[in-house]
């Protein structure tokens, strides 16, 4: 769809031909604002939603359209199996939008910071599309994910002393210096990731709540955007973070500004000390009447083990944070709750 970009801090506007994801005037993140309205199709196939994505040079890779299955344990809990995307996380949805835009703008290199899954996903699609991928990852990242990126997709990897926030700053600096497309948790990725909510809406009649693991908060912000586009005003959004890295939950509870927190969780996919889309996500949670909750390391470990034993689904710790959160909250018998199983790279 035709669109323009607007920065969230000061409302600076750019046409869709602006080839960056950060405001050139004030450095703020941008938001995609559509010029028209498209009808949301009743489908759970990713490419059926192309008309609701920013216009770009899309290649129709196979992704999305993931299953929503009932939990073996709770009748009113449904699991959205995002770990069955091609690189085993929801990140693939955002990656194909970023690749389509980078192709349109004529880049030949992509720069990205990641805790693991995003770089794995982008490196995969970059390779297919013929881009060079340069990746920045904190030294504490999961070694299995680093191996995936290196061995499978020929990406150039920079190990950063520090966490995701530091890596993100370095990826942005590199993109500026090397004329690479800065990809990652920015506006185009958010548009791709909103398709998770479109799919759930067609898969679950009577949907009342969606539980979303939060790292950089791009997924949760995208999902709320999708709910608004579908005019599904009654669905509550619940954010879940690891207790050992919960800047968003603390800000939600205290009603104060979000503060950086050094990540101490083993759930590496949500180990983000200061979420890029944190402020947007907080507003979104409040707008839907939702809540934000933490889960412990052992609660995630227990759910990971149980999900594998009961349903044969092998998810990473961040991927089952949503199930652990479900069990700590009180739902009514007729609530219909979707939990995002965000990834399975272990
Ligand atoms: Zn601006």
Ligand 1 centroid, distance to 49 Cα (angstroms): 29
Please give the distance, rounded to the nearest whole angstrom, from the Cα atom of residue 197 to the centre of ligand 1.
28
Model pLDDT for residues 69-114, shown as the tens digit of each residue: 999 999 999 999 999 999 999 999 999 999 999 999 999 999 999 8
Give the pLDDT of residue 65: 93
What pLDDT is stored for residue 154 in this prediction?
79
What is the model's pTM? Answer: 0.95
- How close is the Cα of 111 to the center of ligand 1, in Å? 22
Region class of 207: left (phi > 0), else alpha (psi between -120 and 50), else beta? beta
Q: 240 forms bridges with which residues in the sheet? A: 213, 293
What pLDDT, in 10s, does the model give residues 117-166? 999 999 999 999 999 999 999 887 888 888 888 776 778 999 999 888 88
The answer to whether residue 58 scores a pLDDT higher than 90 is yes
Distance (angstroms) between ligand 1 centre and the Cα of 286 equals 25
Query: What distances in angstroms separate CA 91 from CA 86, 97, 208, one per listed residue?
Result: 10, 10, 24
* Residue 151: per-residue pLDDT: 73
pLDDT given for residue 12 in this prediction: 98
pLDDT of residue 145: 84
pLDDT at 64 over 80: yes
Q: How far is the CA of 30 from the centre of ligand 1 (A)?
A: 8
CA of 12 to the centre of ligand 1 (A): 4
Which residues does residue 237 pair with via DSSP β-bridges, in sequence order?
210
324 CA to middle of ligand 1, Å? 38
* Cα(113) to centroid(ligand 1), Å: 22
Ligand 1 centroid to residue 26 C-alpha, Å: 4
- Spacing, Cα 5 to ligand 1 middle (Å): 10
Residue spans of alpha helices (H) in the chain: 91-105, 117-129, 143-153, 164-178, 187-193, 195-203, 218-229, 247-254, 278-288, 297-311, 317-328
What pLDDT digit, counting tens, does each position of 288-337 carry? 999 999 999 999 999 999 999 999 999 999 999 999 999 999 999 999 99
Task: State in Å: Cα 31 to ligand 1 middle.
Answer: 11
Residue 187 Cα to ligand 1 midpoint, Å, equals: 14
């Amino acid at each position: 769809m035709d669109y323009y970009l607007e920065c969230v801090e000061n409302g600076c506007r750019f046409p869709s031909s602006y080839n960056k994801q950060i405001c050139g005037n004030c450095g703020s993140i941008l938001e995609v604002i559509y010029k028209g309205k498209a009808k949301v199709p009743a489908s759970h196939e990713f490419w059926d939603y192309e008309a609701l994505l920013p216009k770009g040079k899309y290649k129709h890779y196979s992704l999305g359209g993931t299953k929503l299955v009932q939990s073996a344990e709770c009748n009113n809990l449904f699991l959205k199996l995002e770990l069955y995307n091609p690189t085993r996380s929801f990140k693939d949805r955002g990656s194909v939008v970023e690749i389509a835009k980078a192709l349109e703008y004529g880049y030949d290199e992509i720069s990205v910071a990641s805790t693991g899954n995003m770089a794995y996903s982008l490196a995969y699609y970059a390779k297919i599309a013929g881009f060079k991928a340069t990746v920045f990852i904190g030294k504490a990242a999961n070694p299995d994910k680093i191996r995936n990126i290196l061995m499978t997709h020929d990406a150039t990897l920079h190990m950063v002393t520090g966490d995701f926030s530091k890596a993100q700053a370095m990826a942005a600096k590199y993109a500026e210096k090397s004329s690479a497309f800065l990809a990652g948790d920015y506006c185009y990725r958010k548009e791709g990731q909103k398709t998770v909510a479109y799919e759930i809406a067609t898969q679950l009649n009577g949907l009342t709540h969606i539980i979303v693991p939060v790292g950089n908060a791009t997924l949760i912000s995208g999902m709320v955007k999708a709910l608004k586009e579908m005019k599904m005003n009654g669905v509550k959004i619940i954010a879940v973070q690891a207790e050992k890295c919960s800047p968003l939950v603390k800000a939600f509870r205290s009603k104060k500004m979000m503060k950086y927190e050094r990540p101490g969780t083993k759930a590496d996919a949500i180990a983000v000390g200061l979420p890029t889309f944190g402020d947007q996500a907080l507003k979104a949670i409040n707008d839907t009447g939702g809540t934000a909750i933490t889960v412990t390391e052992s609660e995630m470990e227990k759910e990971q083990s149980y999900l594998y034993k009961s349903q044969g689904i092998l998810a990473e710790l961040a991927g089952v944070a949503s199930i652990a959160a479900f069990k700590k909250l009180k739902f009514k018998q007729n609530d219909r709750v979707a939990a995002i199983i965000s990834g399975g790279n272990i």
